[in-house]
Amino acid sequence: MKIRPFKELDKDFIVNLATRFMEFELLSWRDQDSFKTAQLRIARESVDNPSAGTEIFVAEDESGELLGFLELAPYRDNLSGIDQGNIVAIAICPESEGKGVGTKLMTKAEEWARQKGYKQIVLNVFSKNYRAVNFYKHLNYEAEVVKMVKEI
């Protein structure tokens, strides 16, 4: 398996894989269809018009089959002013789960952050996305801020 910078030909793969971000229970006030539309729009914007400093990487096997992707960007913590690496998005094909693809992409993210001189790397994950939360905990990521929502 190799991790390489994304190419134009990877755009549809990345956008289609963004639907994986919806494979968990949403809070009751979130509309599934609106959420899907927003996720696909965000993914399309990321590949068509990436923000300054954004880099996208793709995992592929020896035959060239695409297995997952990783989007990284610079981030500045508003409270400390510390520049950090930000894992904007990471997704793995369902058939590639449990084969080390996610771990290799996360290792790539940490290598990228170190190369950029960052001492920290951050990411956001929905609290009900238990599989992802547990994966990040396994890699020694810690929850720092929790967004609380109450429907009124």
Element (H, E) at 74: strand 66-76
Over residues 91-139, the pLDDT tens digits come to: 999 999 999 999 999 999 999 999 999 999 999 998 888 999 999 999 9
The region that residue 47 occupies, defined by phi over 0 for left and psi between -120 and 50 for alpha, beta otherwise, is: alpha
The DSSP bridge pattern shows strands 83-92 and 121-123 to be parallel
Interval 58-77: pLDDT, tens? 999 999 999 999 999 999 99
Q: Is 76 helix (H, G, I), strand (E, B) or coil?
A: strand
Tokens representing 3?
């991790």
Contact 72, 112 (CB under 8 A): yes
Give the separation between CA 64 and CA 61, rounded to whole angstroms.
5
pTM higher than 0.75: yes
Please, are residues 84 and 77 in contact by the beta-carbon 8 Å criterion? yes
pLDDT at position 28 is 78
> For residues 24 and 91, what is the distance between their CA atoms, to the nearest angstrom?
14
The CATH architecture of the domain made up of 2-138 is: 3-Layer(aba) Sandwich (3.40)
d(CA 78, CA 95): 38
* Per-residue pLDDT tens digits for 18-54: 888 777 777 777 888 887 888 888 899 999 998 999 9
pLDDT of 14 > 90? The answer is: yes
Bridging pattern class, strands 55-60 and 121-123: unpaired
pLDDT of 88: 96
